[in-house]
């Protein structure tokens, strides 16, 4: 007998989708090697303050990315804040609204005004034409954001920044181990910033880094992440506590050793999703350019009007959430529609950002998600659209935690 939505979803009865948890849980490298590194740290009692694992981690990242300097930090947000301050940004800085809120907060936190700019619908990143239009006498920098491994139009932004004498950095939280025209992300602009949070395919538990080829900037970043200390009891620069600890660096080194495995699983899941969902009208798994190096970290499902006329993106999201399938609405609703920016900019119109934020779902992947899991998730997606009227009835009035 054909299953219905009521047979499957938790608020309708069966718990068939409740175990295992389809959440794309954090990737973890070889456990024995990780625990051995933890033991070395405990035995040495060197827990933080530029220890040997942090130094090794920084060199490994710099080598992988192809830059002179990697400055490891406690997290990606602090790394972004320190990079902004080290580059002397002030006044206004142009950023996309289609990004994680930390990108905007890193500016606002330091009294800098984020000027939200719309995105190019083809790249999902800053539209260079709109960037040019947003520049004012108060503009000091541009922060481009690589999204889901899709890279900014780096050359266009670099040309604008050079011509208008602006600083240029990239929030590369989504683009570690990706390339642009054959060159690894991390080596563009004045600097690029990575996040190594547990949600990223490559993680250090919690962590981040600034990478750059600028010797002077690297020296300043190292001072600023450690209170400005230049010697044991000498401070010569304003700074904060942004250091990465040894445990996080040990996790990062272990993750690096399993990087190829993580990438292979992500790529496998990406192709499985594309195969399973290829014939659902109005649902499209965004394609990666496989001529470039790619991390396949995000499975991005775009639902167009053909799909959403039958069942909305948010109705699909609510069903998946009820089933413990951790789909995410990236980057809903856009920074300009969150506080404090919403109240400060009530008339701001970013049509491409708004359009995309209403259409996107990111689906689970990573080493905790098997091919069988992917098939199950896709079966539920197919069932939702086939049973749209029942879905809507359950969402509107059915029992349970929806």
CA 312 to chain centre: 24
Q: Which of 13-17, 272-276, 319-323 has the lowest mean pLDDT?
A: 13-17
pLDDT at position 400 is 41
pLDDT score, position 323:
85
What's the mean pLDDT when you consider all of the chain?
92
Same domain, 36 and 141: yes
Answer yes or no: do 186 and 233 share one domain.
yes
Instruction: Report DSSP letters for 254-296, one per residue.
Output: HHHHTHHHHHHHHHHHHHHHHHHHTTSTTEEEPPP-TTS----
User: Is position 203 within any domain?
Assistant: yes
Q: Looking at the predicted structure, is the pLDDT value of residue 341 above 80?
A: yes
Are 207 and 294 in the same domain? no
The reply to whether 187 and 126 lie within a common domain is yes
Going by pLDDT thresholds of 50, 70 and 90, the confidence category of residue 322 is confident
- Domain holding 242, by residue range, is 31-257
Tell me whether residue 177 is in a domain. Answer: yes
Q: pLDDT-derived band of residue 388, with 50, 70 and 90 as boundaries?
A: confident
Q: What is the pLDDT of residue 301?
A: 97
When comparing pLDDT for 93 and 18, which is higher? 93
Over residues 94-112, mean pLDDT: 98
Model confidence at 201, pLDDT cuts 50, 70, 90, reads very high
Domain boundary among the residues 198, 233, 257 is at: 257
Contact criterion met (CB below 8 Å) for 174 and 148: yes
The domain total for the chain is: 2
Provide CB contacts within 8 A for 352, sequence distance 6+. Answer: 118, 119, 120, 121, 127
Q: Confirm whether 338 is domain-assigned.
A: no
Does any domain span residue 110? yes
Q: Percent of the chain having pLDDT more than 70?
A: 91
d(CA 7, CA 396): 17
Considering the domain architecture, whether residues 125 and 234 belong to the same structural domain is answered as: yes
Residue 16, pLDDT > 50, answer no
The reply to whether 182 and 252 lie within a common domain is yes
Residue 23 has pLDDT above 80, yes or no: no
| Mean pLDDT to the nearest integer, 52-73 | 98
The CATH number for 321's domain is 3.90.1150.10
Question: Does 11 score more than 50 pLDDT?
Answer: no
Residue 13 has pLDDT above 50, yes or no: no
Domain of 94, CATH number, reads 3.40.640.10
365-386 residue pLDDT tens = 999 999 999 999 999 999 988 8
Decide if pLDDT at 197 tops 90: yes
Q: What is the pLDDT of residue 78?
A: 98
Q: Are residues 206 and 266 in the same domain?
A: no
pLDDT at 22: 61
Identify the pLDDT of residue 255.
98
Place of tokens 């900019």: 345
Q: How confident is the model at residue 181 (pLDDT cuts 50, 70, 90)?
A: very high
Burial profile 125-161: b = 16 or more Cβ within 10 angstroms, e = fewer: bbbbebbbebbeeebbbbbbbbbbbbbbbbebbbebb
pLDDT of residue 25: 87
When mean pLDDT is compared across 21-30, 203-212, 371-380, the lowest value belongs to 21-30
Residue 313 lies in a domain: yes
Residues 108 and 12 in one domain: no
Place of tokens 């079966």: 379
Does residue 131 lie in a domain region?
Answer: yes
Residue 305 and residue 174 share a domain: no
Q: How many CA atoms lie within 13 A of 205 on its CB side?
A: 12
Residue 90 located in a structural domain: yes
Are residues 112 and 204 both part of a single domain? yes
Residues 307 and 200 in one domain: no
pLDDT at residue 232, as a whole number: 86
The neighbour count for residue 244, using CB atoms within 10 Å, is 30
Q: What is the mean pLDDT of residues 207-216?
A: 98
The per-residue pLDDT for range 243-270, each reduced to its tens digit, is 999 999 999 999 999 999 999 999 999 9
Report if residue 335 sits inside a domain: no
What share of the chain in percent tops pLDDT 90? 85
- Regarding whether 301 and 208 lie in a shared domain, the answer is no
> Rounded to 5 degrees, what angle do the CA atoms 383, 385, 386 make?
60
Domain boundary among 231, 257, 283: 257
Of 257, 285, 315, the domain-final residue: 257
């Amino acid at each position: 007998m054909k299953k219905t939505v009521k047979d499957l979803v938790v608020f309708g009865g069966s718990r068939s989708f409740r175990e295992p948890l389809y959440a794309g849980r954090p990737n973890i490298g070889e456990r024995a090697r990780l625990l051995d590194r933890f033991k070395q740290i405990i035995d040495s009692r060197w827990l933080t303050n530029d220890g040997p694992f942090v130094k090794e981690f920084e060199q490994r990242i710099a080598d992988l990315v192809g830059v002179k300097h990697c400055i490891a930090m406690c997290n990606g947000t602090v790394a972004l804040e320190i990079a902004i301050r080290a580059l002397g940004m002030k006044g206004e800085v142009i950023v996309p609204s289609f990004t994680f809120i930390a990108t905007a907060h890193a500016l606002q936190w330091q009294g800098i005004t984020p000027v939200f700019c719309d995105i190019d619908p083809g790249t999902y990143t800053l539209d260079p034409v709109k960037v040019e239009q947003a520049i004012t006498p108060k503009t000091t920098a541009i922060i481009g954001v690589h999204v889901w491994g899709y890279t900014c139009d780096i050359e266009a932004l670099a040309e604008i920044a050079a011509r208008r004498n602006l600083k240029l950095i990239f929030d590369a939280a989504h683009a570690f181990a990706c390339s642009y025209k054959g060159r690894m992300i991390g080596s563009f602009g004045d600097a690029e910033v990575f996040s190594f949070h547990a949600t990223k395919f490559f993680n250090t538990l919690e962590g981040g880094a600034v990478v750059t080829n600028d010797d002077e900037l690297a020296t300043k970043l190292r001072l600023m992440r450690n209170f400005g200390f230049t010697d044991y009891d000498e401070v010569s620069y304003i700074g904060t506590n942004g250091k990465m600890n040894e445990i996080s660096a040990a996790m990062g080194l272990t993750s690096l050793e399993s990087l190829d495995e993580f990438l292979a699983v992500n790529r496998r899941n990406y192709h499985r999703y594309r195969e399973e969902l290829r014939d659902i009208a109005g649902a499209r798994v965004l394609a990666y350019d496989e001529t470039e190096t790619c991390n396949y970290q995000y499975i991005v499902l775009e639902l167009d009007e053909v799909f959403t006329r039958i069942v909305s993106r948010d109705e699909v999201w609510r069903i998946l959430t009820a089933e413990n399938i951790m789909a995410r609405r990236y980057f809903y609703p856009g920074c300009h529609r969150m506080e404090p920016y919403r109240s400060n900019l009530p008339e701001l119109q970013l049509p491409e950002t708004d359009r995309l934020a209403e259409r996107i779902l990111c689906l689970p992947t990573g080493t905790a998600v098997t091919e069988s899991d992917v098939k199950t998730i896709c079966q539920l997606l197919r069932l939702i659209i086939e049973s749209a009227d029942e879905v809507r009835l359950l969402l509107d009035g059915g029992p349970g935690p929806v």
